[in-house]
Amino acid sequence: MTVRLPVASLAPVTSPVASLAPVTSPVASLAPVTSPVAPRPILRAGPTTVELTDDPHDVAEIQRLRYRVFADEPGFADTIGDADTHLDADRFDEFCEHLVVRHVDDGIIGCARLLPPARAVAAGGWYTSTEFEVAELDGIRSATVEMGRAVVASAHRQGSTTALMWAALLQYLDEADCRYLVGCVSVPIDGPGPRGATLRGVRDELRDHHQAPWQVYPHARAMVDGRVLDDIEPPDKAPMPGLLRGYLRMGARVCGEPAVDDVFDVGDFVTVLDRERGNRRYLERLQAAVTRLAVDGHR
C-alpha cells in the first residue's frame, strides 16, 4: 500500500491558487539523505507552509498523523500501524523526502512521502514493487517520482490545503526534473454492499475507461474472502475514492488489475500521471499560478 488519502483529501483544486506564495529559497538537492537537514519551505499561504523535510522529529510527527488518520478512516483495517507507539512507519520512510503542510498553530496537518529516482535506487526500488511486478515501468523510472502515504488531517480537508499540496507536488517534479508521478491509490474492501463489491465496480470502471499504456501485475491475484473479483456482484454505480477521482480528472491512468493489501484491507491500483499527457488545461493553470507567484512574490 502506498497512497492512503481519505476521500475528501487530495481532490482536484477547486479553490483559487493565487494566494499561494512561494518561499524565495529554492528547493534543496534531491540526492539521497546522508544526514538530517532542516525543513525546506516551498510554498506559503497565510498560516500554512509546505515544506520538504527528513528531520527525525518531523518524521515522527508525520508517522503519528498517518496513524491517526488511518485509524479514524472508515473502511481501513484496525490493525494499521503500531498500537503501542501510535505510529505508522515502514523502512521506506528513511529514504523519502517528506512533503508536509505545516500550520502555525496545529503543526503538521498534511503529508506525503516522495521517492525521486536517486532515492529509489538507494531504497532498492519503489514501495509499489512490494505489491506489483512493475517491469513495464522500467523505461520511465529515471523520470519518475513515487508518491505514497498521503494524508490530510480531517479538520483541514478544505480546498486551500489541497491546493497547496498539489502545487508543491508540481514544483517538486520540476525541481527533480521528472515527468511522471506514480503511486498506489486505495479502495476500501468494506463499503456499501457485500465486501469487495465496491472494489469490483471501481476495477471495472478503470479497466473500461482509464487504462494506461503500461501494465503492472499484482504479485498475487486479487481475492476477497477467497473470491476473485469477477465472482463478486458489482454495484450499479461504485463510489470512486476522492484521490482516485482527482487523479483521473488530472489525466492519470491506471496500470491494470489491483492488488489486495490485507494489512489495510484495501485494494490498491497503480496510477501514473504523465505531465505531458495529462489534463493540460488543469495542469497548465496550476503551473502558471505557481510560476506567476514565483515572479510576483508573496500575495
Q: What is the CATH number of the domain that holds 103?
A: 3.40.630.30
- Of the ranges 1-15, 64-78, 145-159, which one carries the lowest mean pLDDT score? 1-15
Domain-located, residue 4: no
Predicted confidence at residue 111, as pLDDT, reads: 95
Domain-located, residue 1: no
Given a cut of 90, is residue 112 above it in pLDDT?
yes
Phi, psi (deg, nearest 5) at residue 115:
-125, 90
What does the alpha-carbon distance between residue 186 and residue 154 come to, in Å, rounded to a whole number?
A: 18
Q: Tell me how many domains the chain contains.
A: 1
Domain-located, residue 12: no
Higher pLDDT, 147 or 81: 147
Domain-located, residue 13: no
Domain-located, residue 155: yes
Domain-located, residue 297: no
Please, which residues bridge with residue 10 across strands?
none
Q: What is the H or E stretch that residue 114 is in? A: strand 107-115
Given a cut of 70, is residue 290 above it in pLDDT?
no
Q: What is the pLDDT of residues 25-75, one digit of tens each?
A: 444 444 444 455 678 888 887 888 899 999 999 999 999 999 998 887 755
Mean pLDDT calculated for residue range 266-274: 95
* Residue range(s) defining the domain that contains residue 246: 21-292
Instruction: Give the predicted TM-score (pTM) of the model.
Output: 0.83
Domain-located, residue 14: no
Mean pLDDT calculated for residue range 262-269: 91
Domain-located, residue 298: no
